[in-house]
Amino acid sequence: MSLKPLQTGVAFVLAFLSGNVWADYTLNMTRGVTSISHDMYRLHMTIFWVCVVIGIAVFAVMFYAIIYHRHSIGAKAAHFHENTTVEIIWTIIPVLILVAMAVPATKVLIKMNDTTDSDLTIKVTGYQWRWEYEYMGKGVRFLSNLATPAEQIKNRDVKNPLYLLEVDKPLVVPIGKKIRFLTTASDVIHSWWVPALGIKKDAIPGSINEAWAKIEKVGIYRGQCAELCGVNHGFMPIVVDARTPEAFEEWLSQQAKKDAQS
Amino acid sequence: MSSITVDGQHNGSIEGHNHHHTDAGHHGPAKGISRWLFTTNHKDIGTLYLWLSFILFLVGGVMALAVRAELFKPGLQLLDPNLYNQLVTMHGLIMIFGAVMPAFTGLANWMIPLMIGAPDMALPRMNNWSFWILPFAFTILASTLFMDGGGPNFGWTFYAPLSTTYGPKSTDFFIFSVHLMGMSSIMGAINIIATIFNLRAPGMTMMKLPLFVWTWLITAFLLIAVMPVLAGAVTMMLMDRHFGTSFFDAGGGGDPVMFQHIFWFFGHPEVYIIILPSFGIISEIIPTFSRKRLFGYASMVYATASIAIVSFSVWAHHMFTTGLALGAQLYFMFATMIVAVPTGVKIFNWVATMFKGALSFETPMLFCLGFLVMFTCGGFSGLMLSIIPADFQYHDTYFVVAHFHYVLIPGAIFGAIAAVYYWLPKWCGHMYSETLGKIHFWLSAISLNLTFFPMHFLGLAGMPRRIPDYALQFADFNKIVSIGSFIFGAAQVLFLYIVIKTIRSGAPAPANPWNAKGLEWTVPSPAPYHTFSTPPMIPAETH
């Protein structure tokens, strides 16, 4: 195993914990490391600013009335109570804004749903309360469990910085390859969510859902189960270890050998 | 409450309307507990609904505070995860079915007959029954917490198979109590529709109805349409659990996602069941304190009806991550975005009502303004949630928790509180303390934002909802949220104190303390036990 991805991973974790990045991360959605997560972030910011502009307009009129049309400063009530033109205008303008928003959202949605031509398929199975990863056709399959000790959860030990976001065996993936994720579950519904990958897909017993990611940067990306799945729903994190294709292939062949032996 | 039992009202303070309540002195309420057990009087039943809802509001609130106490810092300190899940579930169920819905049914009982000039509800005995089912339904539901294996722990949305194959034993009691609540709601809705269609005073045409009556009429149709769907969902659950069916069990050929489709076909109109009566209340109060007629009455009625119709065709926007087909996702995205149009029309109409009015800011108006500002914020996050690619990042995070609390608390709860302050003088004949009312408002409004605004950040930063413990980067905001929630809780205890103080010792209220329009202000305060035994004259301008 080369050291480079490890170093990058550590660097990412340090950056994540340092003030600057941390503040950015906590207040807003992550930009992520896939083109889909970038699209999601962009749509999120666009609709956010649309809301801000509409909000300023509506609240400006409202607070103008609150300040200048007060009974206590002698305001006299006007008598108008309808105006068809105005009512038509404020029905049509929102429709136009919505159409303008729907177009880019539709494009991204179509892109997200295109799971064809993938380089690698990984099946993700949710269990109460752990994830199983299977590299389809590669003979590699393992469980990924929470690695935070119970002592820390019960406040008997100091919590480490990755409290509740660490697993015993992370999902190792290559960067720059189109990875297709198939999600399913063996008991109740779970949801596999890694914000940086722009993927949240329910893992549903009896059916298989698809999602895809093409990761741009080497790094460690963390997520959690996003669908209430019982007592330990809060304790089944996801850790994705994205490596260079070469490092990934090396890891995969070692893993396949190990699995074949056992 | 004793102050409501005024019989023998013979006052001449209201010019020319004495004949409305000529028989007020003939039969007053029965004495003691039997008054409340056997009553068929719309005012008594309204009072019962309102008190039940207030009690359950406090119970559900205490559960939320227990949850927030656990989340005050990382680690498990007060609740084990199973109890945590039970409290989260119960908080949702009790607030929706126990606090908000009965509050509005109580307001409907009190106010609809008074607003349309009817002597009572059309089906008074059924009215008694629809109320008295509820205390039993909620006793059954609450008792599950003490049963072997604990109470429902699968969230108020009770997704299968977590609630079926994997549900605790007490789930059957949960199913039974949901059936009871559904029966109560359906009967209440039938009663409201029958009353509005049949008991309007002569001259009270449909397009003269106060908007509160209109919004409740539309709400009642929604209830009749969707409560049976909920009943169907829980019945299928019961069958899966005990009678060998596999509606939602993939192992037997069923589909867990079908449960979500059925649930949300009920659940989305339910959202509007919760909010529409509040729209009606706001539309009564804002014109009163703006001293100006409601802007665009007709378009308000049409917008309400459109929202109700559209609400049946957007349910799958709660399920974008379940793997719907692309075409279905696109349809539900467009349909959901459309909801913003009639909702926007309503907001614009309320603002236009205030514009060039003569505004004053008594407590009911303050709560309405709180509604306008914060409900609009909740509407914005709703619009953001409708953009599916972004929704994939928001879904099942604290962003959604922030969103629906912003529409539910300023929306439904502030609406109900505004209604209580507005009509309390009519109900009990006493004025509340304006100072205390204003303190209640500002405490509620500030703590509400302290509680729910940081949740947006938590959600965007990646904190999933319904988790009893969280990673360290979420700690600071969670601390703020918990502090805010305790202040909000304390503010509602102040509300209880204000209401009791008003009933016991408030200054006497005139018949029309707000100089408001509407038939309810033509009867004395407190409203006599029987009103409009002979139909009133309808004033030319009723809304």
Of A108, A206, A232, the CB nearest to B389: A108
Measured CA to CA, the distance from residue B82 to residue B147 in angstroms comes to 13
pLDDT of residue A21: 43
Q: Pick A21 or A40 by higher pLDDT.
A: A40
Task: Give Cα separations from B263 to B60, B226, B228 (angstroms).
Answer: 22, 10, 11
Residues in Cβ contact with B33 at an 8 Å cutoff, skipping those fewer than 6 apart: none
pLDDT score of A59 more than 60: yes
Task: Judge whether B240 and B247 are in contact, CB under 8 Å.
Answer: yes
Task: Judge whether B217 and B192 are in contact, CB under 8 Å.
Answer: yes
Q: Closest chain A residue to B294 measured between Cα atoms?
A: A81
Q: What is the dihedral of CA A151, A152, A158, A162, to 10 degrees?
A: 140
pLDDT of residue B243: 96
pLDDT score of A27 more than 90: no
Contact: A78, B460; criterion CB under 8 Å? no
Contacts of B257 in chain A (CB under 8 A): 204, 207
pLDDT score of A53 more than 90: yes
For A92-143, the pLDDT digits (tens) are 999 999 999 999 999 999 999 999 999 999 999 999 999 999 999 999 999 9
Q: What distance in Å separates residue A195's CA from the closest CA in chain B?
A: 7
Measured CA to CA, the distance from residue B19 to residue B251 in angstroms comes to 69
Contact: A195, B393; criterion CB under 8 Å? yes
User: Is A70 buried (19+), middle (13-18) or exposed (0-12) by CB count in 10 A?
Assistant: middle
β-strands A199-203, A209-214: how paired?
unpaired
The residues of chain B scoring below 50 in pLDDT are 1-25
For A173-195, the pLDDT digits (tens) are 999 999 999 999 999 999 999 99
pLDDT of residue A249: 96
pLDDT score of A13 more than 80: no
β-strands A130-135, A178-185: how paired?
unpaired
- Bridge partners (DSSP) of residue A239 are A222
Contacts of A82 in chain B (CB under 8 A): 295-299
Find the catalytic residue in B42, B317, B430, B440: B317
ipTM: 0.90
Contacts of B290 in chain A (CB under 8 A): 69, 77
Of B154, B358, B467, the CB nearest to A75: B358
Of B290, B383, B392, the CB nearest to A77: B290
Contact: A87, B299; criterion CB under 8 Å? yes
B433 is an active site residue: no
B465 is an active site residue: yes
Measured CA to CA, the distance from residue B496 to residue B437 in angstroms comes to 11
pLDDT of residue B225: 97
Provide φ and ψ at A194, rounded to 5°.
-125, 100
Q: How confident is the model at residue A144 (pLDDT cuts 50, 70, 90)?
A: very high
**Chains A & B: contacts with CB separation below 8 Å:** 276
Contact: B81, A39; criterion CB under 8 Å? no
Q: What distance in Å separates residue A233's CA from the closest CA in chain B?
A: 7
For B403-459, the pLDDT digits (tens) are 999 999 999 999 999 999 999 999 999 999 999 999 999 999 999 999 999 999 999
Q: Closest chain B residue to A211 measured between Cα atoms?
A: B323
